[in-house]
Amino acid sequence: MGQLQGKVAIITGSNTGIGKGIAEVFAKEGAKVVINGRRKELIESVAAQIKADGGESLAVPGDVTKEKDVVALFAKTIATWGKVDILVNNAGIATHTPTWEMSLEMWQSVVDINLTAAFLCSREAFRFMKDHGGGRIINIGSISAQTPRPDAAPYTATKMAIEGLTRSLTLDGRRFNIVSSVIHTGPTASNFNAARGGAGKGKTPADFIMFPHDLGRLATLMCTLPEEVNLFSAIILPNHMPSFIGRG
């Protein structure tokens, strides 16, 4: 029996990259996983592959920056499986634009997906979980919250803010047994860094890129600790990464 047997998990932005990896690991551990993203065909093919591998999945397309899509995402999940035990706020985008060239629209679009969407989904999760014995919320942050890249002001600001959101959710969830955690991740194979090649080893140890399944294992640990225990914040990164610990 898997470690997440019988649990229902919504993972936002799970048609590629980290979200897909977390969904696949959760499904292998026995969870019923909701695959979400805006690209309908892609979420349907990920959901179908999980089923073909023996797991349970539900494809729910939607833009999680839109309140009505978020409400529909939770409604469809609860109508299908009767509950939500786990929410992973994963959907996000990166930016590579100097501050002085950043339009307000670009800034706002990053805040919408990297921060506001996590609020909207967490609020819907609370609305169900508070009356049904609690649950777990995992927010995907970034090591950029602590060591930013150049030309990434809204990305860095929103990933810092995700830590603050997680602290508030943790406090607000205590009375309902809702436990919130944040994963600050380093380079992981996804659309973000496709130009660097896939996961695994590169030319030097410093080139290593993590597998999305590595984050799936960490998220599984967060969800399977005793209900009184919160692995509140975790930093996961390639061990030889030169630019985060020390000076390289």
Ligand X SMILES: NC(=O)c1ccc[n+]([C@@H]2O[C@H](COP(=O)([O-])OP(=O)(O)OC[C@H]3O[C@@H](n4cnc5c(N)ncnc54)[C@H](OP(=O)(O)O)[C@@H]3O)[C@@H](O)[C@H]2O)c1
CB of 1 to ligand X, least distance (A): 29
Active site residue 104: no
**Closest to 133 (Cα-Cα) out of 209, 67, 227:** 227
CB of 133 to ligand X, least distance (A): 27
Decide whether 77 or 142 has the Cβ nearer to ligand X: 142
CB of 166 to ligand X, least distance (A): 13
Q: One of 74, 126, 128, 155 is an active-site residue; which one? A: 155
Residues 6+ apart with CB under 8 A from 226: none
Alpha helices in the chain (DSSP H): 17-28, 40-52, 67-81, 104-111, 117-129, 153-173, 212-224
Decide whether 118 or 223 has the Cβ nearer to ligand X: 118
Residues 6+ apart with CB under 8 A from 67: 120
Decide whether 92 or 216 has the Cβ nearer to ligand X: 92
Name the site residues for ligand X (rule: CB under 6 A). Answer: 12-13, 15-19, 36-39, 42, 63-65, 90-93, 113, 140, 142, 185, 187-188, 190-193
Provide Rg for the chain, Cα atoms: 17
Known catalytic residues are 155
